[in-house]
Structure 1
């Protein structure tokens, strides 16, 4: 047996550390070479880490939400081979001033209490080798650690104690569909009996018909639930930090105006009816064309503000951010050179980027460098919104729900489709007059949509 330390490699984005957003293994698990062991998030993307060797996991470098420095130990694996081609991990207790590690093999049969008695002064919060967290006295060693090095991360390993009794830690085998159905019904699968080694829908049906009913609640029944604590990590933490920084540093103001999109919606319906093999048009690509046509007259909106340097960069191209909701949270892929794309090309790119974002497959170059952003709640709509600016941009545009209402046209009352359009701006760079004038310029294109296709 030998121990292999898998160190976090340089991901190649010029970053110094990455955040643990998911562990796919636990201490004691068997892993195979090339098996996914963790997801690490940088400022630009989430990267999957795969094991370079086969063996048993004996130590993990921290919990979900912790940061790991490039080159620091991520996982320690006890390999099957007597020798490994890569670096062997020394016993962690011999490094970093007396860090407590998991036993090297089961043959040691050493309990945590015995280890503690033989190694007095070792704290229960451990760090990985070379992190320099705390003083030597604090970790019970006599080394020269001073606490000035990078902060270390806790080690995790199986808790000492007797093996589980028969029946403890039982996990019923079932397909994801059966598990999802049981969760919706409030059924504890450990209470469901099956003639095979896997619980099927038929077993669940039998439990509901003839079972004791313990743990079962009728669908949609109102019932109390336990409080749940959710750690803010990964994408959710990035969103929280970015939004807080945006509101803290940018004096926002929002302007909202009503636009008659009756003619635009009629034209969109005609285009979709004759689109052939091209993608179906939503309102968004038409709005983006209008944005690109009007921005040259309002360069202060298509800009990025470096508030530390005190410099506003007015972009000659439209790199348009598209706020997209994913399971992990809101992300903003960027449509590069939107000004050079026609309405069908924009529709195709919108679909591609949205699918990549939801599948967590966006390239780093597709996630930054935007000059202005559009955010839409789609079918949820909303009468009016006050979007938060995607810093360091200086403006964000939010189309709202289209509603049908009666309006006056001269002395006549007609049916019209109306939409409120919101724009939030950085008041350090953009004046209220500029924002209102820009929306009026957008109105001209959206209320006379033939202009979108005129030279």
Structure 2
């Protein structure tokens, strides 16, 4: 028997609780297959296409592009079930790609579905949906009638069997009428103390941002559904101007002359929250040292001249970091504030700061301590490209135990980095430039770099931090020191 299933925004993993709709990949009336991507969303971590675990006909979409939805909010409804019998008398087959009520059961890393959503409710007796035939309304209002179940199945079956992968308007009306779904809402009237029925979260946000009480409005949509036009009319009536663009890209307050306000959302909002939390919770301290990187640069040139994949400077610095953390494991840790314990790790998941068009991201190289220079180079390149394309997954952006920040690419010599919460330390590397330097007792021009270490003073004291930084500087000045740990 055909039925309409609701697919909700799935658990995004890694503590993510909301996502912004960037682009719809399906329209109402489209036939979708199991696990077909239906919408592209942007989280605080990355851009991702969300697949639907059901196959059938899309009967409703929730939210316009630019709308932010919380995890668990409805995304689309899909009519699934059996097709009507074919003209030659053979039995209809199950809707193309349909997974039935149980869905596909597939789970994408960080973006999977966990269980089948609940079925949509029907229209209450005596409340037919406007624009739907009386027969369809009665079948939805009288589920106990002898032919109502068959009418529902036939209506949805016609929608699924529509040629060209799209149901025509009449068939869509039958589907909406038999299931009580209108513009993504059931026909059930809201209770007095329940939420006010609006056509989309976009409308609710527009009212909230302008201080408008939706309960004071009379909706012009079906069954009193409040449309965006209703809210905009009310705002004009009280002398306020509603914005003409989607609220998702509007500032929450009116900008004064000469001001430009940009919402802290998406990647930028996530970075802001994390940095603020780091400053609030971590008593950090910074120490730094200048190092002669001439020999390190020569070693890299020699390695790349020997053939094979080119080795990046960042990979060599990462290899130095993992060797230093093996000698000073106190810095490869985090603080469990609730338990008042320092948690030390036996693996190094190395984060590295990368600037992208979407803002600063910190991809994580898993098990960096077990990788050689070639493997580190390849992984840095892969994650950097994914970061620029906005395709990094939550797993690739979380779980770091130590961060390497090469801010020298911006042409600066030094910095006091903010620790990437909840880690305990970050190594900063400035630009490598020719400078006067005393080498073997004589003044010479050498390639000099400034190294800085910002650390959580709760996990160690200055002696450990200084020892770590001095060891890193020694490896930069004399790369042969690394041979002791290979």
Verify same fold: TM over 0.5: yes
Contact kept, 8 Å, 1:399 with 1:420, in 2: the verdict is: yes
Report matched runs for 1:178-193 at 5 Å.
Answer: none
Counterpart for residue 371 of structure 1: 401
Tell me the residue number matched to 1:274. 306
Contact 1:65/1:234, CA 8 A, preserved across alignment: no
Judging changes above 3 Å, is the alpha-carbon distance between structure 1 residues 14 and 302 closer, same or farther for their aligned structure 2 residues?
Answer: closer
Q: Does 1:320 align with 2:344?
A: no
Once the two structures are TM-superposed, the CA of residue 314 in structure 1 deviates from its matched residue by 1.0
Residue 443 of structure 2 aligns with which residue?
413
Residues 27-426 of structure 1 aligned to structure 2 (within 5 Å): 33=32, 36-41=38-43, 45-49=46-50, 60-61=62-63, 64=66, 66-70=68-72, 72-74=73-75, 80=168, 81-82=171-172, 83-84=174-175, 89-90=181-182, 94-97=188-191, 99=196, 126=204, 228-276=260-308, 278=309, 280-409=310-439, 412-426=442-456
Please report how far the alpha carbon of residue 7 of structure 1 lies from its aligned counterpart in structure 2 after TM superposition: 3.8
Please report how far the alpha carbon of residue 381 of structure 1 lies from its aligned counterpart in structure 2 after TM superposition: 3.3
Which has the higher mean CA deviation after the structures are superposed, 339-348 or 17-26? 17-26
Choose between structure 1 and 2: higher helix proportion: 2
Q: Residue by residue, what CA displacement relative to the aligned partner does 1:382-401 show, whole Å, maximum 9, x if unpaired? A: 11111111111100011100
Asked whether the 8 Å contact 2:352–2:364 carries over to 1, the reply is yes
Q: Within 1, Cα distance between the matches of 2:16 and 2:427?
A: 34
Structure 1's 31 and 253: CA in aligned 2 closer, same or farther, altered over 3 A? farther
Residue 16 of structure 1, CA deviation: 8.1
Shift in CA distance, 325/36, structure 1 to aligned 2, threshold 3 Å: farther
Q: Is the 8 A contact 1:320 1:372 kept in 2?
A: yes
**Per-residue CA shift, 1:228-248, capped at 9, x if unaligned?**
432221111111111110011
Q: Distance in 2 between matches of 1:61 and 1:92?
A: 15
Cα separation, 2, equivalents of 1:422 and 1:348:
25
After the TM superposition, which of the residue ranges 357-366 and 438-447 deviates more from structure 2? 357-366
CA contact 2:25–2:37 (8 Å) conserved in 1: no
Is the CA contact (8 Å cut-off) linking 2:322 and 2:368 kept in structure 1? yes
How far apart, CA to CA, are the structure 2 residues paired with 1:156 and 1:136?
11
How many residue pairs align between the two structures? 347
TM-score by length of 2: 0.61
Measure the CA separation in 2 of the matches of 1:318 and 1:415. 36
1:437 is matched with 467
| Uncovered stretches (5+) of structure 1, i.e. residues with no partner | 104-123, 128-133, 142-153, 162-224
Change (3 A) 1:335 1:410: closer
